[in-house]
Amino acid sequence: MEKKIALSMRGITKRFGSVVANHNVDLDVYEGEILSILGGNGCGKTTLMNMISGIYFPDEGKIFKNGEEVVIRSPKDAFDLRIGMIHQHFKLVDLFTAAENIVLGINEKGQHNMKSVNSRVAQIAEKYGFHIDPQKKIYDMSVSEKQTVEIIKVLYRGADILILDEPTAVLTPQEIERLFEVLRRMKADGKSIIIITHKLHEVLSVSDRVAILRKGEHIATVDTCDATESSLTEMMVGKKVTLDIDRSEPVNVQLRLEVKELNCIDSEGIQVLKDITFTANSGEILGIAGIAGSGQKELLEAIAGLQPIASGQIIFNNPKKDKPVTFFHKSMYRVKELAAQDAFHDKEGKPMRLKGMSNAQIRAQVAAENVLFREDEVMNLRGKTPLEIRSLGVRLSFVPEDRLGMGLVGSMGITDNMMLRSYRKGHGGFVDRKKPKALAEDIIKELEVSTPGVNTPVRRLSGGNVQKVLVGREIAFAPKVLMAAYPVRGLDINSSYTIYNLLNKQKQNGVAVIFVGEDLDVLLALCDRIMVINSGKITGMVDARSATKEEIGLLMTQTEAPTKEVAQ
Amino acid sequence: MNVWLNFLIESLAFGAVFMYGSTGEILTEKAGHLNLGIPGIMCMGGAGGCLVLNIIGPMNLHPVLVVILGVLGSLAMSMLMGLIYSFLTVTLRANQNVTGLALTTFGVGLMKVIMIKLDPTVYLVGPKKIFRWPFAERTDALQYLGVLFFVAVAIALIASWVLYRTKVGLRLRAVGENPGTADAVGVNVTKYKYLATCIGSGIAGLGGFYNIIDYQASQEAYLSLEAFGWLSIALVIFALWRPHMTIIGSTVFGFLFSCSSYIANIEGITVTMAAKPLLKMLPYVVTILVLIITSIRNKRENQPPASLGLAYFREER
């Protein structure tokens, strides 16, 4: 049977400011097929689909539905054209029942007759094999039930083109299988289904055709039966691009951070980190690669003490050997306690017990730098407060999607933002403004932050400058472990290189740098080792000097036991 | 009539002032807007109605027409306040708390200016009898149960019915809970916010009018309106955001608020002047108790609308 084209896009281009999200994309969707849209982070998959579902409006190009040109300006227009999108973040009213959510916004005459709504929902559920209780409130539902409500919401409106944005990201393997079963039934019913995903084995097991996007461009559309995991990966990651980043050889590599079998469970009860075990060394940049949302954020937050840990250890080796004791972080009580454990020796290497000394004598000895640490201090970061962890020199310069949300206060100037990290210093109830101001001026000069002055609210700076301020501040406190997540997201080339050089400088100073990035070329050019995580699990640790993009791409997208199922 | 029954009926009539105020506020809050301008809006509603009565007083119009025109004047003035509030908070996305408080200050002040200029013999004496129909001639508490009291009860019931039984209500609640979702399914969020705020303000304004012209029916009545406005906002919490609950809640509030003056008459207990403000505090104590109880029970249905107080604008990248 000849298949009819349900929807086609021609020459679609979408720009956000100077960033081109989609460039000249052509795409066809047939009736009664499952089309996968495959691509790495930020390749424009979701943007493209948002243009079909009315969230964005294309700058250039045309969309045809059943051969006729259509204009989609709002989600409602899309609904009217029988196109429905199931977003990654569900759009449901928690307080309403499933049925109320399903009928919300539908324009029928008169009032909603909940009885007939319920029976129609039940009908749809039976037809495609869903399990749903229309009377159940959304806040009582599991993630997969919520997804079911979203899908039925779209079907109830009579959609014949369904777009699912990473539908499997939040589901368990059994739930995924059930979802695929439902999708296949819909396909048999003649509906067109588009799945956005980056999981190769899912692509291979459920879809008929795969469209591959890379950096906003449509690379190819292939029949799934002709594709293999490696051929798809190759198209996804593209050819290697050489970057001009100075990478020095690691010097004086010492074990700094040791994460052992770390497990984290988020507030919704989903396991976000599974048995994470790795080490980070001083004088080395450890890259973390993975599809966005694979647990990178949770991992860094767990180390920084911001994420509750279900089980596992985070061992921090504090380099203390032969360093004199100061009272800076330690009280007299703590010093005495450590002395009782034989932790100190004097300049000649003899044990230093401090026993029988008065407090004044101990103070004098400490002041004379005569009390030295015998060994490095080894401690478990688990159970320590974020403040304690920070004062140990474990610094998180987290640069999330929302730069101002974490770490900086938008309406305060650079000086004041510096003080957020140092307000505990200073005498009595007064803060010390001089040092933060000098630091702010240093950062502006060193990192070439373009700002009218130190007191200009950071909210008014451009994204790149805000990022420089954030990273600069964390580096200024002489960290021992520096964690940077997506520090160059949204930055132009020059600013990006400033940040890379900063990280490299830290590495040469003996800091253990952990760098979470999304651009594989950068990871390969900047890091010494690259750890790949996928759905909260480590799937590989590779040497950045010898690894290839395909290798990492496969590790990022493959789960441990890929289902080798051929598309039906 | 039994003194306690008398007291109860009077509490019911007194409570209607809050019933109007909080039903109006509930509608606004259901759209996600915390309108702290309610005291000011109630004041302006009262002033608007009295202003119209003062103008039409000498014309000797038909009683029904007097009621209608008075109510319309009250509605017009308070809805105008609601329109200012929604323009500032919905369209310009100004801070809701600040805007509301500013409106209260503005409304209370302007009302005082207007009311001082009006002649109580014109706006009060004649219309009072008309508004208190059918019990105007009685001397016990029944005299207070006039037209506007029954309107208040009807509005509270209708508001509940609309919110929980109709398509419009479903959409309005969706707007207050999760405007993004409502927007995505094609609900006009701005329209719903404007309408809910303006209609809510109109209803609240009637409460002010009712207090001046009917329940207290004195030329000093307008001075206590601001306090009643704040009580109305407290009553929203007491009623757990359900309009029909305000009927019970307002009676309890009315009962507690006026018991300081009643206890002395009924049981022969003398309340010292110093203790009276303490007793007037009771409605707020009860509100805090309700808050504590609902917070402990932590039932999702009893919580304020999820996006209450948050401005909504479509996400942009």
Q: What is the mean pLDDT of each run of 10 residues along chain B (317 residues)?
A: 83 93 96 95 95 90 90 96 96 94 96 92 85 82 88 96 93 93 88 96 96 89 91 91 94 86 68 78 86 83 88 65
Which among B161, B163, B170, B302 is the top mutation candidate for probing chain A, defined by the most A β-carbons within 10 Å of its own β-carbon? Answer: B170
Asked if residue B53 lies in contact with residue B73, where contact means CB atoms within 8 angstroms, the answer is yes
Asked if residue B192 lies in contact with residue B175, where contact means CB atoms within 8 angstroms, the answer is yes
Give the Cα separation of B195 and A446 in Å (integer).
Answer: 55
Q: Is A174 on the interface with B (CB under 8 A)?
A: no
* CA nearest neighbour of A415 among A391, A397, A431, A392: A431
The residues that bridge with A271 in the sheet, in sequence order, are A265
Cα distances (Å, whole numbers) of residue A505 to A235, A247, A269, A464, A500: 35, 10, 40, 19, 9
275-304 in B: which are within 8 Å (CB) of A?
A: 300-301
φ and ψ at B26, to 5 degrees? -65, -45
**Domains of chain A, earliest start first:** 5-237 (3.40.50.300), 275-309+384-557 (3.40.50.300), 323-374 (no CATH)
pLDDT, position B316: 43
Tell me, yes or no, whether B315 lies in a domain.
no
Angle, alpha carbons B222-B225-B230 (nearest 5°): 170
Give the Cα separation of B155 and B210 in Å (integer).
Answer: 14
Out of B165, B171, B173, name the one closest to residue A105 (CB): B171
Give the Cα separation of A482 and A511 in Å (integer).
Answer: 7
Q: How many domains does chain B have?
A: 1
pLDDT, position A563: 40
Sheet holding A217-223, edge to edge: A83-86, A161-165, A192-197, A34-38, A209-214, A217-223
Cβ <8 Å between B186 and A112:
no
* CA nearest neighbour of B222 among B205, B235, B199, B236: B205
Residue of A nearest to B307 (CA): A93
Tell me, yes or no, whether B312 lies in a domain.
no
Out of A16, A76, A95, name the one closest to residue B186 (CB): A76
DSSP A291: S
Give the Cα separation of A339 and A343 in Å (integer).
Answer: 5
Give the Cα separation of A179 and A190 in Å (integer).
Answer: 17
Judging contacts by C-beta atoms under 8 Å, the chain A residues touching residue B186 are 74-76, 79, 105, 107
* CA nearest neighbour of A182 among A171, A172, A173, A193: A193
Cβ <8 Å between A91 and B181:
yes
Judging contacts by C-beta atoms under 8 Å, the chain A residues touching residue B300 are 94-95, 137, 139
Q: Two tokens at A308?
A: 């509750």
Tell me, yes or no, whether B308 lies in a domain.
no
A95 vs chain B: nearest CA distance in angstroms?
7
Handedness of CA A182, A184, A188, A192 (dihedral sign): positive
Phi-psi region of B305 (alpha: psi -120 to 50; beta: other; left: phi over 0): beta
Asked if residue B58 lies in contact with residue B122, where contact means CB atoms within 8 angstroms, the answer is yes
Out of B166, B186, B300, name the one closest to residue A111 (CB): B166
Q: Two tokens at A468?
A: 């420089």
92-151 in B: which are within 8 Å (CB) of A?
A: none
DSSP A58: -
pLDDT in tens, A404-447: 556 777 788 888 888 877 666 656 677 777 888 888 888 888 77
Reported ipTM: the value is 0.86
Give the Cα separation of A195 and A169 in Å (integer).
Answer: 12
pLDDT, position A406: 61
Q: Is B316 on the interface with A (CB under 8 A)?
A: no
pLDDT in tens, A113-158: 888 888 999 999 999 988 889 999 998 888 889 999 999 999 998 8
The pTM score is 0.76
Low-confidence ranges of chain A (pLDDT < 50): 1, 561-568
pLDDT, position A403: 54
Judging contacts by C-beta atoms under 8 Å, the chain B residues touching residue A137 are 300
Q: State the CATH number of the domain containing residue B94.
A: 1.10.3470
Which among A47, A73, A93, A116 is the top mutation candidate for probing chain B, defined by the most B β-carbons within 10 Å of its own β-carbon? Answer: A93
pLDDT, position A329: 54
Strands A5-16 and A60-65: antiparallel
- Domain extent, residue B269, equals 3-302
* CA nearest neighbour of B30 among B144, B193, B154, B157: B193
Tell me, yes or no, whether B311 lies in a domain.
no
User: Please, is A245 exposed, middle or buried when counting C-beta atoms within 10 Å of its C-beta (0-12, 13-18, 19+)?
Assistant: middle
Asked if residue A371 lies in contact with residue A365, where contact means CB atoms within 8 angstroms, the answer is yes
Tell me, yes or no, whether B310 lies in a domain.
no
Give the Cα separation of A145 and A151 in Å (integer).
Answer: 10
DSSP B71: H
Cβ <8 Å between B170 and A75:
no
